[in-house]
Amino acid sequence: MSEVKTGQPQGLMTLFFSEMWERFCYYGMRTLLTLYLVKSLMKGDADASIIYGAYTALVYAAPILGGRMADQFLGYRYAVILGAILMAIGEFIILGGNETFLLIGMGAIIVGNGYFKANISTIVGKLYEDGDPRRDSGFTIFYIGINIGALLATTLVAYVGETYGFDKGFALAGFGMLLGLIIFWTGRKNYAAAPGLEPTEAGLKKVVGPFNMVQVITVGSLALIPLCYLLVFQNQVLDYLLLALFVYISYSMIAAGIKADKEQGMAIWRDRMIALIIFMLINITFWACFEQAGTSLTLFADRNVDRMIFGWEMPASMTQFFNPFFIIVFGSIFSVMWVKLAKIGKDPSIPLKFAFGIIQLALGFLVTMVGMMFVNEAFQVPLLTLFFLYMLHTTGELFLSPIGLSMVTKLSPKNIAGTAMGAWFLSFAMANYAGGKIAALTGGHGDTGEALSLEQGLEQYISIFSTIGFVLLGIALVIIIFSKPLQKLMHGVK
């Protein structure tokens, strides 16, 4: 048993590679999606951006349901396998080559991702007992796997998709998912010690004739695919649906906080829930702008960025690789930095970390104004513009992203930890949808619908990106001003 005491649990690397290939599948499809909509399906920029936003919003909302189904009925292993199969099927359906096949494929990927994403992370957590000091480093290793998968997708799938045809790129992403599924299944003995893998008693109970709950949920999951199709296609419904969910979850969390205060005889949980809702709103702001990577920034790269490197032209979708590349470069540096700052008592508070993250995101967008000073005769800015933009976006992400999940578990009472985590995922869903709406404003068409020239398009992109940058700086300033009252609401959570 010395390996368990000194190294990481045996199952971690099986889960690492399963998740790596699942992210290869998801990011591979996402990397190509906007260009596929615009270039193959002849969608306008605004339509493509809103479809992309609706799709990614549902991808982030789905784990709320996927996690609950696994907890109550399916068990974690079956949920991950079901998710992997649905995602692979979704990728291969897209190969049908028209909008209907794309939307059905998207529906399958959304539902599949809900089962896979929510539950593979849970299995990682279950490999460790409470208080195990290896847990944080285990999750850091797992996070590196996510980013290696994203890096491979944004280089390999992006290159294949744009060079040999979008269908080849989507097929490659589908094979990546199958590889992840094979690794997860063949290595199942490695993580067998994790509790909760098997279907629950309630899951094995017969509910409809000879069929048990696990079988009913499996068939029901297929029925969710057309619902996702409709939500992506008729995406204006999401405006009201996401807002209603946010109001409902906010109310539930504050009510749970008040109840916990009464039970424990101290008034802290309500305040912490209010703080968490404020952080959700800040999170939405950050990611709505950050997620321009897959939409407006990719179209900007396609039209107005000089991507020639020593005679080779980098595909536009491949510029998305900068983010996972910088995560891998800076991730470990940042984790060491936070520990060292904490030791000398200089670790910034959570509100200040969020504010500093937003400042870096803002500066990334403002880099485009510097790029404008070096425009060539084809109205293209240098590739270094995107290099520095994505570098600042990634360092900004590292101020927010790793802290978020840990903060949610600290701020919420134990009995609603799942609801609070679902609320945090919902903030990402809302951010992605809002990101699609923002990207729709940057499209390559003027106010009257006429196509813009490259020169006009460049001016429009720079104008909107710089406006986003200045607005974000203003938001960061407000957070800094109110950081002390916000910290007070957190009642000692650091």
Domains and CATH numbers, the chain: 7-234 (1.20.1250.20), 237-494 (1.20.1250.20)
What was the pLDDT predicted at 239?
A: 92
Distance, CA of 15 to CA of 114 (rounded, Å):
17
What was the pLDDT predicted at 494?
A: 80
Residue 3 banded pLDDT, cuts 50, 70, 90: very low
Residue 199 banded pLDDT, cuts 50, 70, 90: very high
What was the pLDDT predicted at 301?
A: 97
* Residue 335 near residue 143, CB atoms below 8 Å: no
pLDDT digits (tens, 9 = 90+) for 149-165: 999 999 999 999 999 99
Q: Does the structure show a pLDDT above 60 at 412?
A: yes
Strands (E), 229-369: 305-306, 308-309, 312-313
Q: Does the structure show a pLDDT above 50 at 4?
A: no
Residue 448 banded pLDDT, cuts 50, 70, 90: low
Mean pLDDT (whole number) for 184-211: 93
Burial of 282 (0-12, 13-18, 19+ CB in 10 A): buried
Q: Does the structure show a pLDDT above 80 at 472?
A: yes
Strand 381-382 versus strand 305-306 pairing type: parallel
What was the pLDDT predicted at 444?
A: 65
Residue 416 banded pLDDT, cuts 50, 70, 90: confident
Tokens of 239: 């405006």
* Residue 261 near residue 329, CB atoms below 8 Å: no
What was the pLDDT predicted at 310?
A: 94
Number of H helices, E strands in the chain: 19, 6
Q: Does the structure show a pLDDT above 60 at 361?
A: yes
CA dihedral 326, 328, 334, 339 (to 10 degrees): 180
Q: What's the one-letter identity of residue 260?
A: A
* Residue 393 near residue 327, CB atoms below 8 Å: no
By mean pLDDT, which of 65-69, 197-201, 316-320, 335-339 is the weakest?
335-339
pLDDT digits (tens, 9 = 90+) for 477-487: 999 999 999 99
Q: Does the structure show a pLDDT above 50 at 261?
A: yes
CA dihedral 331, 332, 335, 340 (to 10 degrees): -140
Q: Does the structure show a pLDDT above 80 at 345?
A: yes
Over the chain, what is the mean pLDDT? 92
- SS3 per-residue string spanning 270-322: HHHHHHHHHHHHHHHHHHHHHHHHHCHHHHHHHHHEECEECCEECCHHHHHHH
Coil, helix or strand for 399? helix
What was the pLDDT predicted at 1?
A: 34
What was the pLDDT predicted at 108?
A: 97
Q: What percent of the chain has pLDDT over 70?
A: 97
9 vs 421: which has the higher pLDDT: 9
Distance, CA of 33 to CA of 213 (rounded, Å):
35
pLDDT digits (tens, 9 = 90+) for 28-57: 999 999 999 999 999 999 999 999 999 999
Tokens 């399958």, residue?
108
Q: Does the structure show a pLDDT above 80 at 136?
A: no
415 vs 371: which has the higher pLDDT: 371
What was the pLDDT predicted at 2?
A: 36
